[in-house]
Amino acid sequence: MGLLGNDAKMTLLSYSDDKFKAGEKKIELNFKPETLNLKLGNKVANSCVINSISGTGAFIRGNPAKLELTFIIDTSIFDDMVSFGLGKPKEDLNTQLDNLVKNLYSMDGKTHESRYLVLKWGKMRLGNSVGGGFYCRLQNMDINYTLIGPDGVPKVAELTCSFIENLSSDKQEQRAGKNSPDLTHTRMVLSADTLAQKTDDIYRDPAYLVGVAEFNGLDSLRGLESGQTLTFPPLEK
């Protein structure tokens, strides 16, 4: 790392919706590049017959990618710079941590969910990135205070974080190349979703709204439950 670690800085964009458009907040944090670990995987069913020397692997689905890394918040450097007249006071460590926890971990008061994140580091592609970023949500955050001043005020903290990929349905289809309405689609309902919105995402035609409701056995066009799964049947050719 270079002077003050500025050559390893991650940009984190935080949003309140799964379209990654509303309530954008931007945070930049130094991190340890040697801790960056990207995990990619597939769900594969193994099948072996008796007396065989090997087996076959049937692809079931792709697993969400996982990204792990360790951020560093170091306010001691800025304290020293200020004391020598080389800089201006920076927010204390606790204030920076509170802001980070609010935008990465805590439940959003409007959506009742944790926020949606995009991680970017230069031109590096991370996971099934669409548009050069890792679309995800925070899974775990371990905070380790590595330097505490004589007054009991923390000066340096290392944050080991793991993120799990979270691509919206549009971005999944964009990545997979399966955009045709003549295919069967399944979608999980989030708290802010409406049936009209999700139907329009698939068919681009409100005329199919009632048919989708009937196909899924819904009693009304409103009142979707967060977490339920909807099936959108293929259009007949």
Residue 167's φ and ψ, nearest 5 degrees, are -95, 135
Record the tokens describing residue 216, joined without a space: 């899924």
What CATH number is associated with residue 37?
2.40.30.200
Residues 149 and 73 in one domain: yes
Q: Is residue 237 part of a domain?
A: no
Predicted local confidence at residue 82, as pLDDT: 42
* Mean pLDDT across the chain: 81
User: Which residue is it, tokens 């994140």?
Assistant: 117
- C-beta neighbour count of 222 within 10 angstroms: 10
Residues 85 and 165 in one domain: yes
The answer to whether the beta carbons of residues 167 and 144 sit under 8 Å apart is no
The answer to whether the beta carbons of residues 161 and 169 sit under 8 Å apart is no
Predicted local confidence at residue 162, as pLDDT: 96
Q: How far apart are alpha carbons 113 and 86 in whole angstroms?
A: 42
Residues 221 and 124 in one domain: no
Residues 113 and 8 in one domain: yes
Residues in the chain where the model's pLDDT stays below 70: 1-7, 49, 51, 78-90, 124-131, 168-182, 237
Sign of CA dihedral 216, 221, 223, 229: positive
Record the tokens describing residue 44, joined without a space: 């594969």
Q: How far apart are alpha carbons 122 and 22 in whole angstroms?
A: 23
Give the H or E element holding residue 232.
Answer: strand 229-232
Q: Is residue 175 part of a domain?
A: no
Q: Look at the chain and report how many structural domains it folds into.
A: 2
Residues forming a β-bridge with 72: 30, 158
User: Which residue is it, tokens 């330097």?
Assistant: 147
pLDDT, tens digit, 9 for 90 and up, residues 126-176: 666 656 789 999 999 999 999 998 888 899 999 999 999 987 666 665 555
Q: Is residue 48 part of a domain?
A: yes
* Cβ neighbours for 204, distance < 8 A, ≥ 6 positions apart: 181
Residues 158 and 204 in one domain: no
How many Å from the N-terminal Cα to the C-terminal Cα in the chain? 58
The answer to whether the beta carbons of residues 167 and 127 sit under 8 Å apart is no
Domain stops at, among 150, 170, 190: 170
